[in-house]
Amino acid sequence: MTTADPDSEALSGEDEAEFRARCRAFLDRHATGAGSGGHPDPRGERRLRAAQKFQRALTEAGLAGLTHPVEYGGAGLTKAHERVWRDECARYPSMTTELTISHGMCLPMLAEYGTAEQKAAWMARNISGEEVWCQMFSEPAAGSDVAGLRTRAVRDGDEWVIDGQKVWTTLAHLCAYGIVIARTNVEVPKHAGISMFIVPMDAPGIEIRPIRQIDGGTAFNEIFFTGVRIPAANLLGEADKGWAMATAMLMYERVAIGAGPVGGIDTELSDRLIEECRQRGAIGDPRLRQGLMQLRILEACRSLVSMRTRAELKAGRTPGPGGSVGKLAWSELLAAYRDLSMEVVGAAGAAWEHESGAAWSRNALSTLQSSIAGGTSEIQRNIIGDRVLGLPRDISADKGVPFKDLPL
């Protein structure tokens, strides 16, 4: 197979129809719904394994990593192919939500900033889902202000030695690798002394502990690094230049969360609630109908924002602050869905273990995370204000101050 020009925008009508049929045949067979098959899955393992199984089949069908080069495990196809694939995916249940961080954030960083050796070493197994990657940015005192991080990495011969703590690391316990940002220079202002590393999650000195969530799950973790040694070759990009890359990865994160894995107008949430209203004989209730319409409109707006973001991505490789608009739209949409779903299911929304409404109550609680994960809604509004609308910037008292002189 030859590698096509990935930037190519157009497919001939015949090629497109053929490729569309290929995608549809694959999805008909394999996109049968992810999830835990009704089994308890507090650590997210069943859902991840289901996503990996789907991804393995996708790889065997030559449809994984569509625009990535064949020599790095991709399909070597074009953005036009990717657009068709997303269109088709929009008609099926999402199968790879659990791979959002690995594929939506870590893979683009490897592809964009990795050396040829790093890409050859890691991209193919990431694309196939054989090895899943996590993101280790947040720390107990560095979440919104992630540049204030205190985890240190010190060069020792051919190795870096990492000490510190990360927190809220989604699926770390099931991942083979993670991308870490750590402080490598305390003599310069906080944004200037950060580097990015690829860390094997089984390296000696890494301890992963689960965190219990409000919805009963334990899918994220705190991670302790004690004298963790990684090869110098695991530095991604240049030493002390990691902040620009961290910002890029956060933008990929916002696009991955906000734009979602599918293209087109995605009406999955309103469809689900309309069906629920029908089953409960409540579809004629004018108040619920009003809510359903509002939800449908929010979904359409969010989808249109996603389409614009994707169109912008075609122009440059790294997504810009506009990704925050999509991320914020996603959080607002989920909040509206949460409120309306509780109205639709009524008292059943309070049910918990082994009750028919348990899925709704868990869903209501878990959707709260959408306004925090990937940067809070307040931070998205700040970014949109500063960097999209050009309003005056937020005050930063530590500007230009060497990190070592900042108060603890």
Ligand X SMILES: Cc1cc2nc3c(=O)[nH]c(=O)nc-3n(C[C@H](O)[C@H](O)[C@H](O)COP(=O)(O)OP(=O)(O)OC[C@H]3O[C@@H](n4cnc5c(N)ncnc54)[C@H](O)[C@@H]3O)c2cc1C
Binding mask 180-219 for ligand X (x = CB under 6 A): ----------------------------------------
Q: Which residues have CB under 8 Å from 174's CB, separation 6+?
A: 43, 44, 45, 48, 132
Buried b (16+ CB within 10 A) or exposed e, 110-147: bbbbbeeebbebbbbebbbbebbbbbbbbbeebbeebb
C-alpha span between 402 and 225 (Å, rounded): 24
| 98 belongs to the catalytic site | no
8 A C-beta contact, residue 63 and residue 128: no
Report which secondary-structure segment, H or E, holds 230: strand 220-231
- Classified as helix, coil or strand, 180 is strand
Binding residues for ligand X, rule CB under 6 A, total 21
Q: Which of 14, 253, 275, 276 is catalytic?
A: 253
Q: Out of 57, 335, 372, 384, which residue is the one contacting ligand X (CB under 6 A)?
A: 372
DSSP 159: E
* Least distance from ligand X to the Cβ atom of residue 350, Å: 23
In this structure, the number of other CB atoms found within 10 A of the CB of residue 400 comes to 9
Tell me, rounded to whole angstroms, the distance of Cα 229 from its chain centroid. Answer: 27
Q: Out of 144, 226, 290, 294, which residue is the one contacting ligand X (CB under 6 A)?
A: 144
Nearer to ligand X, 23 or 106 (CB): 106
Footprint (CB under 6 A) of ligand X, residues 70-129: 101
148 in contact with ligand X (CB under 6 A): no
Footprint (CB under 6 A) of ligand X, residues 153-182: 168-170
Q: What's the Cα-to-Cα distance from 193 to each of 17, 141, 396, rounded to whole Å?
A: 50, 17, 17
143 in contact with ligand X (CB under 6 A): yes
382 in contact with ligand X (CB under 6 A): yes
Q: Out of 135, 195, 303, 318, which residue is the one contacting ligand X (CB under 6 A)?
A: 135
Nearer to ligand X, 67 or 169 (CB): 169
DSSP assignment string, 34-46? -S-TTS--TTSHH
* Least distance from ligand X to the Cβ atom of residue 328, Å: 12
Q: Which residues have CB under 8 Å from 181's CB, separation 6+?
A: 136, 137, 146, 149, 151, 194, 195, 196, 197, 242, 246
Nearer to ligand X, 355 or 394 (CB): 394
Nearer to ligand X, 176 or 307 (CB): 176
* Least distance from ligand X to the Cβ atom of residue 396, Å: 9
C-alpha span between 387 and 321 (Å, rounded): 6
* Least distance from ligand X to the Cβ atom of residue 86, Å: 24
247 in contact with ligand X (CB under 6 A): no
Q: Which residues are catalytic?
A: 253
Which residues form the interface with ligand X (CB under 6 A)? 101, 134-138, 143-144, 168-170, 220, 369, 372-373, 375-376, 378-379, 382, 394
